[in-house]
Amino acid sequence: MSLTGKTALVTGGSRGIGRAICHRVSALGAHVYINYVSNPAAAEETKKMIQDAGGRADIICFNVADGEQVQEALKQIVTEAGSLDVLVNNAGITRDGLLARMKESDWDLVIDTNLKGAFLCAKAASRSMMKNKWGRIVNITSVIGFSGNAGQINYAAAKAGLVGLTKSMAREFASRNITVNGVAPGYIVTDMTSSLSEEIQEKIKREIPLAALGTPEDVAGAVAYLLGHDARYVTGQVLHVNGGMYM
């Protein structure tokens, strides 16, 4: 198990893709901190599932978009666990709308959560990683950051921004043996996509060469690869997990 003895933080780890990532990170041997912001029950459920499988997990509530909360929370993790070695920036939200009608507050909320949140967490986590001369960071971006999507300019801008952040951080941290990579999911079955109508889901499937939506486990598998020993020489890359819908 390549993460035995390591401590990992998965932002938005309580539900959906984040929950599947927590499971895989725990299966690799890490002590997992499950982050959430508003739904403690989901976080408790994830913790229980990990513990039932023999893993070690703790819950940490904070808003990734709030610099003070991020600093406090990451300080708490390092104090309790001794270090923070793995960070998966997964927390994300959507507030869709066409540009002409998009409220400035919806632009700000999506950029702050999906992009600034990753910057704040990486900045706070990098201190422990630099000290230990080892670290793994994975940023969960999206196919939308590459293809664009009408009605999602805030989300697409944040997710495209994460790609630039990933590559620049990879260059800054490589000399300290910290790798930084991204995973770009396509359409994955979670609460985020459950509001799409049957009709829209059928339309999406027709655009996917593998003709199905993905599962959180499909994404978690890619994250596990990037965190594991087999990816020790991989940094600054984005792995696409999208059934072929964008190549």
The structure tokens listed for 179 are 């790798």
Interface with ligand NAP, residue 93, by CB under 6 A = yes
Q: Give strand ranges (E) for 48-206.
A: 56-61, 86-89, 135-140, 178-185
Q: Considering only residues 90, 128, 179, 235, which one is a binding residue for ligand NAP as defined by CB under 6 A?
A: 90
Residue 181 found at the interface with ligand NAP (CB under 6 A): no
CB of 72 to ligand NAP, least distance (A): 13
Q: Which helix (H) or strand (E) holds 67?
A: helix 67-81
Instruction: Provide the phi-psi class of 156: left if phi over 0, else alpha when psi is between -120 and 50, else beta.
Output: alpha
Q: Which stretch binds ligand NAP (CB under 6 A): 1-9, 11-19, 49-57, 203-211?
A: 11-19
Catalytic residue among 155, 187, 225, 246: 155
If one asks whether residue 161 binds ligand NAP (CB under 6 A), the answer comes out as no
Which residue shows structure tokens 């941290």?
Answer: 173
Run of H or E residues at 124: helix 117-132
Which residue, 155, 72, 158, 93, is CA-closest to 119?
Answer: 158
Residue 17 within binding range of ligand NAP, rule CB under 6 A: yes
Please tell me the total number of residues recorded for the chain in this structure: 247
| 155 catalytic residue (yes or no) | yes
Question: Does 192 help bind ligand NAP (rule: CB under 6 A)?
Answer: yes
Is residue 119 within the footprint of ligand NAP (CB under 6 A)? no
Work out how close the CB of 172 gets to ligand NAP at its nearest, in angstroms, rounded to a whole number.
22
Residues that bind ligand NAP (CB under 6 A): 11-12, 14-18, 35-39, 42, 63-65, 90-93, 113, 140, 142, 185, 187-188, 190-193
